[in-house]
Amino acid sequence: MVLKIDMVIDDYRKYCILAARVLGLSLVISLLLLFGWCEISYSDDSLPAGSEFLVNKYGKILKELEKSPSAVPFYLESSVSKSASHVDIYGTIEYPFNMVINELQLPINWCDILLLHFKVRACTYKKMKDTWLLTIYNVDKSSDPLEDADQLEFEYHILAQQPG
């Protein structure tokens, strides 16, 4: 199953991709986390092949996942260029896929995920006509007060969800 989430920021279309595949009892999940300072370089024609991509990736990072010090094993890849930062997080989650996919359709749960990043101080959401509006409050330093945070607004809606 592939879930594609479209976010619109200042008239530029960015993509946040969630691709998942059930492997035995574990769910391998890839979150391309999009923050206001990141550019995701995927377009509709260049998206990874969903579950096939993850099965291959899982095989490549299995040893790293096994060494993860976290209670929920994860592996992080990141890169930085002059104009963009790119972060991929992979992990195994011991929950049924339907439960996970249903939870990720709720904006409050995306706020929980985004708050894991040390620069995100707060996240709020509200229902609009056909979409949800997520507001992220981003700080330069984790010690900065919320009043100094940059406010980033994302329109959140599911574009496609299909078996993969």
Does the structure show a pLDDT above 60 at 5? Answer: no
Where do the H-state alpha helices sit in the chain?
A: 51-67, 97-103, 107-114
- Amino acid symbol at 119: K
Mean pLDDT of the chain: 63
The strand pair at 132-138 and 120-127 is best described as antiparallel
The whole-angstrom separation of Cα 40 and Cα 89 is 14
Q: Which pLDDT tens digit goes with each residue over 86-132? A: 667 777 767 666 777 777 778 888 788 776 667 788 888 898 887 88
- State the residue for tokens 């100094």: 148
Mean pLDDT for 144-159 is 78
Strand, coil or helix: what is 64? Answer: helix
Confidence of residue 35 (pLDDT cuts 50, 70, 90): very low
Does the structure show a pLDDT above 60 at 46? Answer: no
Q: Which pLDDT tens digit goes with each residue over 71-84? A: 777 787 777 777 76
Residue 128 phi/psi, 5-degree rounding, is -105, -165
**Do 135 and 142 form a contact (C-beta atoms < 8 A)?**
no
Confidence of residue 140 (pLDDT cuts 50, 70, 90): confident
Does the structure show a pLDDT above 80 at 7? Answer: no
The whole-angstrom separation of Cα 136 and Cα 22 is 30
